[in-house]
Amino acid sequence: MQKSKLPPYYAARLAEYDLADVDLSGAVLLSFDRGEWFLREGQTMEYLYILLSGKAKVCVGVKSGRSLLLCYYLSDGIIGDLELMTGSRTAVTSMQAVTPLLFAGLPLERYAPLLRGSLPFMLRVGAGLAEKLDLRVKSSTEAILQPFECRLCGYLLQTAEDGMFCETLTETAELLGCSYRHLLRCLERLCRDGLLEKRKCGYLVLDAAALDKRAEG
């Protein structure tokens, strides 16, 4: 993680979250590299994160220590809104950068009371939480009802960077809820069908349109 003072030119982006009247002199710019975990479930949160660019994957753990992929945040959104609403400083999910990420970070020690007292901002947070609930219901439904290959194809498309899928396969199997051997069999089948090509550093996507079609089932 790298931290610096938030440049003034991000003020317009933050105004979209009804923060135009909030003193942002204490806000910081946070950057994370691809693959870096910036939140861990159960750990204390220091910031409310407002995503400026990049993509992150969201995971929730179970008592066995395994994780399950929930959904994706793309190029905008608030992270830490649930914790802000409940008054908790403990992260309820783990989050990892799929691509390089940029956040505006609002230190919760300073900003939590101010933000909870702002009706426009809290209405914005409530609307965002409703959207996330809808996404998670759909994501959970797909995880239960969709064949594994459909979920894998969707995951490959969302995590591939410049056409290369370079995620750790053991972690991928865990996040998608399958065995490592079953994941390898599915990847080999996609290679045989001409959708992927195995490379030393991962898998090259040869036919994104065909992968997308299989992801839809």
pLDDT single digits (tens) 172-208: 888 787 899 999 999 999 999 999 999 998 999 999 9
**Does residue 28 sit in the same domain as residue 133?**
yes
In the listed set 143, 159, 177, which residue is the last one of a domain according to the structure?
Answer: 143
Of 143, 160, 193, the position where a domain reaches its end is 143
Residue 72 has a pLDDT of 61
- 26 and 84 co-located in one domain: yes
Range of the domain at 54: 2-143
Are residues 45 and 100 both part of a single domain? yes
The pLDDT score that the predictor gives to residue 49 is 95
Domain end among 105, 123, 143: 143
Give me the helices (H) in the chain, please. Answer: 11-15, 81-86, 108-116, 119-145, 148-159, 169-176, 180-192, 208-215
CATH number of the structural domain spanning residue 29: 2.60.120.10
Total domains in the chain come to: 2
Q: Does residue 158 share a domain with residue 129?
A: no
CATH number at residue 159: 1.10.10.10
Among 16, 4, 12, residue whose Cα is nearest residue 121? 16
pLDDT tens figures, 130-174: 887 877 776 666 666 678 898 899 889 888 888 999 888 988 888
Entry pTM: 0.75
pLDDT of residue 75: 61
The reported pLDDT for the residue numbered 13 is: 82
Instruction: Indicate if 162 and 62 belong to the same structural domain.
Output: no
